[in-house]
Amino acid sequence: MSFIDLFKNKRNYSEDEWIRPYSQRVKEALRQGNLPTAIAYLTKANELAPERLDVLLMRAQIYQYGLGDFTAALKDYRAILLQLENEPDRELASKCKAGMKDMMGESES
């Protein structure tokens, strides 16, 4: 069990409490145009709250549209869609599929 797991068990922190500091840092990094730093904070937020697929979606979009790293973006989009197989979130799935279509140069019809 990791330190974070042990610490999490001491109090019932909500996912929002765990990732709030990272969300604020992501916003600041984006304001400064520092995409690699934003990715690093999103990665940490994803480790703390892997159920928060919106964090993974934001990271995928930064990889794709900001950094042009299609391989990393596709990996995140696929991870989101895999997690949505049992509990489909149409809006989140649509955003993932739209990003994937953009990578392939397809327009939405």
Q: Where residue 109 falls among pLDDT bands split at 50, 70, 90?
A: very low
Answer whether residue 81 is part of any domain.
yes
Is residue 16 domain-resident?
Answer: yes
Angstrom CA distances, 10 to 4, 45, 47, stand at 10, 19, 18
Q: Which domain holds residue 44?
A: 3-104
Which pLDDT does position 85 carry in this prediction?
83
Model confidence pTM above 0.85: no
Structure-token pair, residue 14:
């909500």
pLDDT above 90 for 71: yes
CATH (domain of 47)? 1.25.40.10
Query: What is the reported pLDDT for 15?
Result: 62
Phi and psi dihedrals of 107, rounded to 5?
-95, 155
- Indicate the DSSP class of residue 58: H
- Per residue in 46-56, pLDDT tens? 998 888 899 99
What are 75-100's pLDDT values in tens digits? 999 999 998 887 767 888 889 889 99
The reply to whether 70 falls in a domain is yes
